[in-house]
């Protein structure tokens, strides 16, 4: 990166920078010498304040605010994390998701191109693949979501593709598998309200905040009947965003990548790992399937490894649980 003595720091706007993956990425950007501005409406964020980061409260759908901000701060590139991300809620309240993630997302993209910014990194999801035909899932897999959340992510990807061709917007779409874990120093971690994600729920059981852990489905076509997921450490995701930004500065070329470890673990195996690391036994109840859960989601991460030189070095399941536990037990 060109952050030598005489080179001005590159300026990055991070939307949703107070959220789970956003805050870890902001921390990593600062560590690597970027000048960071955060735009967040604080709807789901857990604000951390970091030295040298400008925090601005606002919405990505506020075209005027975003347009002015990008010009005033002379932003070089944006990373867009701001979105709603509960699959279940997207099914029961789709208009909220299309409004937030697509309608406001379009206003944001318009402000980006109108202000002359040509680079964007976007948080996409393996949810854009729906029920995959092949495991592990490569970027060539057909994208056919099975819930509104996945559709909103796919629609944003499509808008970026069209804006690339028409207006020269260069994008990198990062399709995360299951983001998990917490920063090594324990200052930031995963927190949702309500909590629906499996690792925080398991740890809330360890802490006694919940009395029982419910396994959603034991009759899937997997090695032990429970769902397989590919958990990837949030610090590795943060690193991928920085590699994506650097790729855009160096190559000025759009692309998309799967971010996962390539290894899947079942819910029952996850319970075993949590019990081993925390040293506590969980009260487990085997339940029916949760609607909309694909049986297995595992990434083929070859492309990210080759093109971005990305490697998920923090993503062993032990490290994921250990760092998450460190954070949850301190809260
Ligand atoms: N699970 C349980 N019990 C629980 C919670 C979850 O058994 O109390 C199981 C689920 O059924 C699933 C696995 O644990 O098999 C993981 O569930 P999560 O809810 O933690 O995560 P998802 O796999 O549903 O994640 C999905 C997509 C992501 C998307 C994310 C949005 O895979 O791409 O939802 O939050 F980004």
Query: 188: Cβ below 6 Å to ligand 1?
Result: no
pTM, full prediction:
0.96
Phi, psi at 150, each rounded to 5°:
-60, -40
Q: Six-digit token pair at 330?
A: 């301190």
For 58-87, the pLDDT digits (tens) are 999 999 999 999 999 999 999 999 999 999
Strands of the sheet with 228-229, listed across from one edge: 265-266, 228-229, 296-297
Question: CB–CB of 98/34 below 8 Å?
Answer: no
How many residues make up the chain in this entry? 331
Q: What is the H or E stretch that residue 235 is in?
A: helix 234-251
> How many Å lie between the centroid of ligand 1 and the Cα of residue 23?
21
For 233-271, the pLDDT digits (tens) are 999 999 999 999 999 999 999 999 999 999 999 999 999
> How many Å lie between the centroid of ligand 1 and the Cα of residue 220?
14
Query: 299: Cβ below 6 Å to ligand 1?
Result: no
List Cα–Cα distances, 306 to 10, 135, 171, 175, 301, in angstroms.
25, 19, 18, 16, 9
Question: CB–CB of 29/36 below 8 Å?
Answer: yes
Mutate to test the pocket of ligand 1, among 176, 199, 231, 267 (most ligand atoms within 8 A of CB): 267
Does position 205 have pLDDT exceeding 70, yes or no? yes
Query: 83: Cβ below 6 Å to ligand 1?
Result: no
How would residue 193 be classed by pLDDT, with cut points 50, 70 and 90? confident
How would residue 291 be classed by pLDDT, with cut points 50, 70 and 90? confident
Q: Where are the alpha helices (DSSP H) in 102-147?
A: 104-114
If you take atom 16 of ligand 1, which residue's CA is the nearest one? 198
Query: 298: Cβ below 6 Å to ligand 1?
Result: no
For 129-169, the pLDDT digits (tens) are 999 999 999 999 999 999 999 999 999 999 999 999 999 99
- Determine what percent of the chain is predicted with pLDDT higher than 70: 95
Q: What is the pLDDT of residue 1?
A: 47
Which residues have a catalytic role annotated? 149
Mean of all residue pLDDT scores within the chain:
94
Question: CB–CB of 121/241 below 8 Å?
Answer: yes
What is the position in ligand 1's atom list of the atom closest to the CA of 289?
11
Nearest to 262 by CA among 119, 127, 137: 137
Q: Six-digit token pair at 186?
A: 């324990």
- DSSP-derived pairing of the beta strands 170-176 and 119-125: parallel
DSSP 299: B
């Amino acid at each position: 990166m060109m952050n030598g003595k005489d080179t001005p720091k590159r300026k990055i706007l991070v939307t949703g920078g107070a959220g789970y993956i956003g805050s870890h990425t902001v921390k990593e950007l600062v560590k690597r010498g970027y000048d960071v501005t955060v735009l967040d409406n604080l709807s789901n964020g857990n604000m951390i304040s970091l030295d040298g980061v400008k925090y601005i409260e606002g919405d990505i759908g506020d075209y005027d605010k975003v347009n002015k901000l990008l010009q005033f701060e002379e932003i070089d590139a944006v990373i867009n994390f701001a979105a709603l991300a509960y699959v279940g809620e997207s099914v029961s309240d789709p208009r909220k998701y299309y409004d937030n993630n697509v309608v406001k997302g379009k206003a944001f993209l318009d402000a980006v191109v109108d202000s002359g910014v040509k680079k964007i990194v976007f948080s996409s999801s393996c949810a854009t693949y729906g029920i995959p035909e092949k495991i592990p899932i490569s970027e060539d897999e057909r994208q056919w979501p099975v819930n509104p959340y996945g559709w909103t992510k796919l629609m944003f990807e499509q808008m970026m593709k069209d804006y690339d061709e028409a207006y020269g917007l260069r994008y990198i779409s990062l399709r995360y598998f299951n983001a998990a874990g917490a920063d090594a120093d324990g200052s930031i971690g995963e927190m949702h309200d309500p909590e629906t994600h499996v690792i925080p729920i398991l740890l809330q059981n360890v802490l006694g905040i919940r009395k029982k852990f419910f396994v959603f489905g034991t009759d899937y076509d997997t090695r032990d009947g429970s769902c397989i997921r590919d958990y990837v450490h949030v610090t590795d995701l943060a690193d991928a965003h920085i590699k994506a930004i650097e790729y855009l500065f160096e190559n000025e070329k759009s692309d998309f990548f799967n971010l996962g470890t390539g290894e899947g673990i079942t819910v029952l195996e996850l319970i075993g790992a949590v019990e081993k690391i925390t040293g506590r036994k969980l009260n487990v109840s085997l339940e029916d399937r949760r609607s909309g859960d694909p049986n297995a989601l595992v990434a083929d991460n070859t492309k990210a490894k080759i093109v971005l030189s990305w490697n998920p070095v923090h993503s062993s399941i032990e490290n994921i649980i250990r760092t998450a536990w460190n954070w949850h037990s301190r809260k």
